[in-house]
Chains A and B, each alone.
Chain A
Amino acid sequence: MLKRIWKARSGYLFILPKFIFFTVFVLVPIIWSFFVSFQEYRIFGTEWVGLRNFRDALQDDLFWMAVSNTLRYAVVVTPCSVAIALILASLIHPLRPGAQTFFRAAFYLPTVASSVVISMVWRWIFQTRYGLANYFLSLVGIEPINWLHSSAWALRSVIIMAVLTPPGVGVILYLAAMGSIPESLYEAARIDGANRLMQWWKITVPLVKPTTLYLLIVSTIGSFQVFDQVMMMTQGGPGYATTTIVHRIYNVAFRDFEFGYAGAMSMLLFAAVIVLALIQSKLVSSDAEYKG
């Protein structure tokens, strides 16, 4: 065995540099995260507190507020952005290659500008007196809305921004999936007299289902982690109206310095993400059966 390892040493040497970074910044934090959440951090030393951090989190109204805000965000943003991606890609797909490239770029461009930049400009668009949003509303005779400073509208504003920022990744993945559907399927459908809408509903939509599932789950996980937008637009306010889970973790850990408590909340978030990932793998494998 040792001889085999020695003979293959160059294989290990090539991996070694990456593995050092991987160990220090991935493996150690993963292992550490299990300990952190069972401890309380004081200025001098730490104390084991068992499950108390978890119990505190589950009894903390602010944590549940953050969970509810995050869920409300995810429930609207995920289906909307996947549906918009599907519709946009379906409309782009029949175009000439040049036009395809143009629209793909137009819908992806806001994704490459960082979320910080996009959030900053939306904060300005949602400004109550001089913002673009209220100006456009005034054109159709709607009274100005106090977007970011009222607890009724703040979360809705963040959601509106997320829905109106085009799902660039989704469009690209859907276009790739649609490109691999054989043309003969559509021909057969046409011979059977199916119109274009029928073809779309009966052929395109079922055959891009793996992409749909993938996007749904990736986008849900992404929604569970929303932070940048909230931090830049509302700082979680007014009050706690837009505090999300990650924003709450950030505040508890790096403003109040309660690492143990923040660690416990992170574990709960991770559990939620794992459950979602398991549901995904179930759905995807059942889909494989359906495709035969």
Chain B
Amino acid sequence: MKTRRVSEIGMAVIYSVLIAWAVISLIPLYWVFATSLQQPGEVDVMPPKLIPTVISRYLPLRLSGEAEEAAALVDGALESYRLLFRKTNMGRWFLNSLMISLCATTGILLLDSMAAFSFAKKEFPGRNFLFWLMVGTMTIPGQVLLVPMFMVVRELNLVNTPWAVLLPQLSMVFGVFMLRQFMLTIPSELMEAARIDGASEFGIYWRIMLPLAKPGLATLAILTFTSSWNSFLWPLIAIQKSEWFTLPVGLKTLQDQNLVNYSLLMSGAAVAAVPMIIVFLSFQKYFVKGLTLGGVKG
């Protein structure tokens, strides 16, 4: 397939530029983890310790048989994490974020797939109007609606409850649009056959449509989970009680209270980043598919 050859020198240039840029891109993430493993005294030094002591010294100590010192080193490196979970509400915030993101993902998959099924495969008066009404609002950036959104949530008495963060997410339209595009490509013959066999409309949706739409659902699930986990501005507005903070809002408070304890702050940042990194590395192809489906048609 690749008939256009790039000379070896050209290849070397390409690789070195890409590797250099990748290193620059990944330094901040590396620095999160490196700083989180340093003890407070090691952080405020010039020149900075580019490699945490525990990484550079652990193996030499183990190999020279000083197991106790090596264990003490690991213990010291984890000090920030211990402090984080003992002295702050981090564990609680983590669970809040996890619960809200999981519920948002489940809810959106269910609601959006039902709506998308109807828009893609059913005929009824007003269908196109309703569809374009929904899709049309996608152009309105969420930030524009902060104030009226807050007033709605206040009227419903949801402020300072996890519902205030969860429920508005269920109104997002992107998934309906994406799943409809996906379901349009699924042939209708299977549905017709099931209908002749006496399947109910819900049975057709549940037993035929959902299994066939699995790739689209997986993509939507990943995108929803990450955006829910990372959302910051709205939870910051909707929740003022520490017990219901999500992780990003918790991190903001942590930073406000520990302005200079960078090792503690970075361990908090690491706790927020690790689940996303794991999700991304395990489901990379769904990210790619979701972006190209939701984005421009080449």
Contact = CB atoms under 8 A, between A and B. Distances in A.
Interface of A: 1, 4-5, 8, 10-12, 14-15, 17-19, 21-22, 24-30, 32-33, 36, 88, 91-92, 94-95, 101, 103-110, 112-118, 120-125, 127, 129-130, 132, 135, 164-166, 169, 172-173, 176-177, 180, 183, 186-187, 190, 196, 208, 210-211, 214, 221, 224-225, 227-228, 231-232, 246, 249-250, 253-254, 259, 262-263, 266-267, 269-270, 273-274, 277
B237 A120 contact: no
A253 B150 contact: yes
A251 B25 CA distance: 32
Contacts of B291: 169, 172-173
A21 B98 CA distance: 22
B230 interface: yes
A221 B226 CA distance: 21
Contacts of A227: 143, 232-233
A21 B156 CA distance: 13
Q: Is the interface of A mostly helix, strand, loop or mixed?
A: helix
Contacts, number: 285
B9 interface: no
Contact of B273 (A117, A196, A262): A117
B261 to A, nearest CB: 11
A277 B119 contact: no
10 A-B pairs with the lowest CB-CB distances in the bound complex, closest first:
A8-B124, A114-B230, A11-B124, A14-B118, A25-B171, A32-B148, A11-B122, A29-B148, A214-B296, A18-B115
A186 B32 CA distance: 43
B295 A173 contact: yes
A25 B167 contact: yes
A275 to B, nearest CB: 12
B281 A105 contact: yes
A173 B288 CA distance: 8
Given A112-B276, A113-B273, A132-B31, A18 B144 contact: no
Q: How large is the interface on B (under 10, 10 to 19, 20 to 34, 35 or more residues)?
A: 35 or more
A32 B284 contact: no
Interface in B17-45: 17-18, 21-22, 24-29, 31-32, 35, 43-45
Q: Is the interface of B mostly helix, strand, loop or mixed?
A: helix
Nearest to B268: A120
Given A110-B25, A221-B141, A231-B236, 17 more contacts: A4-B125, A8-B124, A15-B115, A19-B130, A21-B111, A29-B145, A33-B145, A91-B17, A113-B277, A121-B28, A121-B266, A121-B269, A165-B25, A166-B21, A169-B295, A190-B4, A259-B147
A104 B115 CA distance: 33
A113 B143 CA distance: 21
B48 A24 contact: no
B148 A30 contact: yes
Contact of A270 (B140, B151, B226, B298): B140
A19 B28 contact: no
Nearest to A101: B284
Given A225-B141, A249-B146, A266-B147, A112 B280 contact: yes
Given A121-B32, A187-B3, A33 B147 contact: yes
Contacts of B145: 26, 29-30, 33, 266
A105 B151 CA distance: 40
B298 A180 contact: yes
B114 A91 contact: no
B1 interface: yes
Nearest to B291: A172
A57 B25 CA distance: 39
Contact of B26 (A109, A190, A232, A267): A109
B6 interface: yes
B130 A259 contact: no
Given A94-B4, A121-B32, A112 B279 contact: yes
Given A91-B17, A228-B233, A14 B205 contact: yes
